[in-house]
């Protein structure tokens, strides 16, 4: 399960670009700070690899049960 803090997210889309399963895409909604943030398209395909949380420069993504770098 991916946990996204939309307040921290700046919509850089690194998580979208580097997800090996391509289950993230930038949504059409804006965060409180005005950025488009990623949405999970199919969480059942998530392998909890943690790449999304590792590449996020804002630390806006967490994978519960996995330590973030």
Q: What DSSP line would sit under 4-64, residue for residue?
A: E-TTT-----HHHHH-TT--EEEEEEE-TTS-EEEEES-GGG-----HHHHH-TT--EE-T
User: Does residue 6 surpass a pLDDT of 50?
Assistant: yes
pTM: 0.87
pLDDT band, very low/low/confident/very high, at 69 (cuts 50, 70, 90):
very low
Rg, the chain, Cα only: 11
- Is domain 3-62 given the CATH code 3.30.70.20 in the classification? yes
Share of the chain above pLDDT 70, in %: 94
Measured between alpha carbons, how far is 52 from 9 in angstroms, rounded to an integer?
Answer: 12
Q: Is 41 exposed, middle or buried (0-12, 13-18, 19+ CB in 10 A)?
A: middle
Q: What pLDDT does residue 42 have? A: 94
């Amino acid at each position: 399960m991916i946990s996204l803090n939309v307040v921290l997210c700046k919509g850089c889309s690194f998580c979208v670009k580097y997800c090996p399963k391509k289950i993230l895409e930038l949504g059409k909604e804006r965060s409180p700070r005005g950025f488009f943030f990623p949405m999970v398209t199919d969480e059942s395909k998530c392998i909890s690899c943690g790449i999304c949380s590792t590449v996020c420069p804002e630390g806006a993504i967490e994978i519960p049960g996995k330590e973030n770098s």
